[in-house]
Structure 1
Amino acid sequence: MAVEKDTPGKQIRATVPRTSQGDFILSPQRPSVLEAIRTSNEGRVKKLIPIRHGRMSESPFAFYRGMAGLMAFDLSGLPHTQLTVQAIGDCHLSNFGGFATPERTLIFDANDFDETLPATWEWDVKRLATSFVLAARHNQLKEADARDMAVKVSTSYRHSMYEYSRMNTLDLWYMKFEMHALMNSTTSDEVRNMLRDAIAKAEKATPQQVFYKITENVLGTFEITDQHPLIYHPLNLEKEKASIQNFLKEYSHTLQEDRRYLFSKYHVEDVALKVVGVGSVGTRCLVALMMNDKNEPLFLQVKEANASVLENFTAKSKYKHAGERVVQGQRLVQAASDIFLGWSTSDDGRHFYLRQLRDRKIAPDVNHFDKEVLMAYAGLCGRMLARAHAKTGPSEQISAYMGKSELMDTAIGKFAVAYADQTEKDFAEFTKAIKKGQLPVEIA
């Protein structure tokens, strides 16, 4: 009887056993939590840093969202296969959601790529799995359920990777997770009703709706309404007019020609700084209100881009412009990307990327997910992540390494619980530093 020869993926098990993926050991070189936070604050807008600390202080999960760099350090010292994909980088359950494709179809996909970079596939899986443990604990679910959700992420990822590794390449790249199809395929009435409500809300969300929600008429011109300290005007449009035009001209050259033509129909009406997310707080994030000759609005989000937190532990990005790194990574991973996705550079040399603001976006309210919904969501995120990695990495080798048994899933569950425990310890150190006055905090 002939013996099947080991594939390259299976051969990696000799040096990186699947059980080792469950190990978590702190490096003696690991920086203190206070040091890590101060390092991550470097280059941010100083007066916004207390707001960042305030948002991170809400829970261990919120802290986890803001400290992708610390986890990157921890992951880099652990066993990994070095099978490289286009990693999301900051891969947690709140960085997935729904949005509209250029054809206006609502799809589910990853939607935050500030840290994207080629890296080993396990880092995304482990960060995603750990986020489900922390979210389950935050929602006061049983500890056994929290672990099972991390296992579910891995199981869904493993089964899907096997499926995608055998798909026709074009079919894989055309594949989308359409929200209506997800709603119709679920066996859970609760999940179906939740998706139906989310889809209905998203389909009503138009640029005009956003326009009336966040703008006001001031002496015959429209302005974004100040909501200090989260939305305010740092720029004088008249004084900065030339700089803004140069910035947008450079940006327009990163768009496809047809989209550049469309963009040329709009002019800048107003620009305001807007605090967003948790990890992004303190970076320069702006909202630009554009109008055309018909007084129809277009909102662009302008986000500062810096080096990925993964770059200290992998090769440097091949893109010299951090905004281009984000955009190209997003285009690789997503099934469809915003038509206004592009990048530019400010006069002071800062890198930015641009996209539409709130384009029929569906942001899952994970803080209120019960066991049934969170478990279903874990399976969906694992499946979507596998598709992203299969598109951009050696899917057959990754699938062969994981194999058909539950060994890998058990290891990921073990790791996720251990790292969630560590995150809670780190969070305790963080809140202790706040109480001692070592870190300024503002709740906004």
Structure 2
Amino acid sequence: MKTIPIEAVRPVALRWPADDFSRVPYEIFHDPRIYQEEMQRLFHGPTWNYLGLEVEIPNWGDFLTTWVGDTHVIVTRAKNGAVHAFENTCAHRGSRIVDTVRGNAKRHTCPYHLWNYNLAGELTALPLEKGHNGKGGMPPCFDKKDHGLRKLRVAICGGLIFGTYSEQTEELQAYLGPHSLSQIDRLLVQRKPKVIGYLRQKIPSNWKLYNENVRDPYHASLLHLFQVSFGIQTPAMQGGIKMDKEGKNTWNHSILSEQDAKSREGLAAAYADTGKFMPDLELADPSLAQVKLDLDDNYKTTILSMFPTLIVAQVDNTYAIRHLRPKGPDAVELHITYLGFENDTPQLLHNRLLSVNFIGPAGYISLEDGEALRLVQEGTKSLRGAHSVLEMGGIGEINDTDYMSQEISIRGFWRHYHRVMQFPPAGHADTREAA
């Protein structure tokens, strides 16, 4: 793969005005050169990228296709049970090999010239390798072992499959950190998950804006009318944000809110003149908002975000894997995998599907979030040299909180993004000239 010199893709004078990342330059969401650099430094760099779930490929020969940044990848289960991941691009002439989302195959064959690859991505056979009647064929120096598919290093945690291109990426458990590991155990390990549905949503915004959205707990009770009116999520609930390694690892974090019967008290005053709190609003079917939590720890919402593109979410009894797939500087595909669990009773499964009505394809959350991000993308595309303001919850240190009205975890995302992208120190202009 050709590597583009960083000097050729980095824009001139991209300025991060604040070293606590309470200011983010708007060009970061629009410049195509930044997007291309992200594909190299982030997705092909020292990060663990979510690839899929083990339960999606339970049998040998099972495969799924996914995306690491803008690179299409095949994930397979080999006969010995090992999971492999490699690029879905033939080593011969670059054709896409697999053009389905998932399936089962004992080998993968390029449809163009029939080069055959095993389930580890190794080239095993190709027609006319020795030519025909003593003519043609590959040269004597050709060795199939030199022409396998480009592989990723694979690791698995709690049934989540991750891949990385870099040998410098730290071990997966260290990368995730103790808090993320504890939440993965709570949400995905204590009960064996099963897939109950998929949803894809294309959002006309930069992929990093969605990362801001899921690290922003206070927008939910402002943007989504029904959230606060029906008591699903309110700013008065107990909760906050938790980051790993005592705040040093700020690229992975979770938003946690607890069910609290008293949390609606005082909301009328807090929402005065906003039109967003309507306590008399009623559902035709109140049971939609009265699903009993099936975990006994009282957490009503968990949004666990792992850099760069994975979110494991629990909203009431709806459990989902959200995966971001960048589609250029101004578009992202949100791929959602909805989960049930092996021992779910018919009633419990019914209750999960009821909750999906709020946040799934029949609900408002994805729709309203997508529209809000579109408005930001449109509103900032001509603002060269301007920046956002991330001061809710305070500025300075990036630490855990026990309150929801904050943007601190967004700043944690940007601090790590800035580090991996190797921008000049925040608070100083980049004065280097582009090549």
Query: Smaller-chain TM-score range?
Result: under 0.3
Q: TM-score when scaled to structure 2? A: 0.25
| Structure with the bigger percentage of strand | 2
- Say which structure, 1 or 2, has more relative contact order (CA 8 Å, 6+ apart): 1
Flag the structure with larger Rg: 2
